Amino acid sequence: MNAMLNTAYTSKPKILLVDDDRLILVVLAQGLANAGYQIVTAESVAEAETILFSAEPPDLLVLDVQMPGGSGLELAKNLSEWDGAGFILLTAYNDDIIVEQASASGALGYLVKPIDVPQLIPAIEAAWARAKDLKELRETGLQLQIALASERDISIAVGITMQRYHLNRRDAFEKLRKVARDQRRRLADLANEVIVSIETLTLVNKDKK
């Protein structure tokens, strides 16, 4: 079974429901669709993984812990390694060990069956808000890494320019910036090219020795 219920709402997350109980899937999918969510369903981990690698993956998953052919915890572990969508775990047992495993897997929510739509919606909304916060933090961290790498490359390129043209730091920086402006390029890209050129030249000189 791989069904998708579309709605006219676009501000709510696209949710993948994963449970081997078809009745539970139908009831939850219909209830969440009526609440404005776009719903995709899967009855196994394998089917869920196929959907996750599709052109339009879900924003959030609701996973049953116990399923034949692979558990929701196994899929949750893979989601963590893939840095993929956030997820909520469902289980029929209120077991401390399972709760601990759910927390360790990075679950954004944990609910004990039987569960109905009015109970599930607040958990989904809380998990979706947390998932968006985490995504923003990851993107901010990546942007910071890129910015720091660019600053480092520019600093190294300025040093190379200072040495080659016998300039002070300010004049070397202005020279690089002028070249980048004249060529309509980003200063960081030019700096990286300067570094690569010097590294290539160094390797050539080593080979000649």
pLDDT tens, residue by residue, 64-81: 887 776 677 777 777 665
* Averaged pLDDT score across all residues of the chain: 79
7 Cβ contact partners less than 8 Å away, ≥ 6 residues apart: 33, 36, 37, 38
Tracing tokens 């050129």 back to the chain, one arrives at: 197
**Tens of pLDDT, residues 100-127:** 666 666 778 888 888 889 989 999 998 8
**pLDDT under 50: residue ranges of the chain:** 6-10, 204
Q: Which two tokens stand for residue 147?
A: 């910015």
The pLDDT, as a whole number, for residue 140 is 74
Give me the CATH code for the 4-115 domain, please.
3.40.50.2300
Give me the CATH code for the 141-208 domain, please.
1.10.10.10
Distances (CA, A) of 41 to 17, 64, 141, 146: 5, 12, 33, 37
Distances (CA, A) of 114 to 30, 36, 64, 202: 16, 22, 11, 67
User: pTM score, two decimals?
Assistant: 0.58
For the chain, what are the domain ranges?
A: 4-115, 141-208
